[in-house]
Amino acid sequence: MSARVVHQPRVAWDFVQVLIDVVVAGEDLYAWFAGRVGEVLGSAYRVQLHDTRARLFAGRRIDIREVEMGVWRARLEDALIGEPDLAEDLRILRLDAAARLAGIPGV
């Protein structure tokens, strides 16, 4: 039996790319995603997601997207170090959110 190797920085990076796109997407998709983030990661992460959305829409910095991506990547890497089993839940949520972003029917 082979063990699955999880590269936590990659899991975090892949997730963050979709997270930022969803945060600036329509309200329905964002609300669904925020709910799922709360379920998977906890309510504190849902609040942080809301704060990220507010900062992205405020647009006070031209590099705010990159700043938020970096913050979330570090935040998720820390979560994965403390709870490695989150990797699979994050992968599933990322794929589901990416499909919804792409408008794939049935998701």
Q: Name the token pair of 64.
A: 């705010």
User: Residue 105 falls within a domain, yes or no?
Assistant: no
Q: What distance, in Å, lies between the first and last C-alpha atoms of the chain? A: 33
User: Residue 65 falls within a domain, yes or no?
Assistant: yes
Does residue 101 sit in helix, strand or coil?
helix
Contact 69, 16 (CB under 8 A): yes
Using one digit for the tens of pLDDT, what is the confidence trace for 6-61? 788 899 999 999 999 999 999 999 999 999 999 999 999 999 999 999 999 998 99
Domain count within the chain:
1
Average pLDDT over residues 61-79: 96
User: Residue 3 falls within a domain, yes or no?
Assistant: no
pTM to 2 decimals? 0.90
Does residue 105 sit in helix, strand or coil?
coil
Using one digit for the tens of pLDDT, what is the confidence trace for 54-65? 999 998 999 999
Structural domain span for residue 51: 8-99
pLDDT at 59 (0 to 100): 83
User: Residue 42 falls within a domain, yes or no?
Assistant: yes
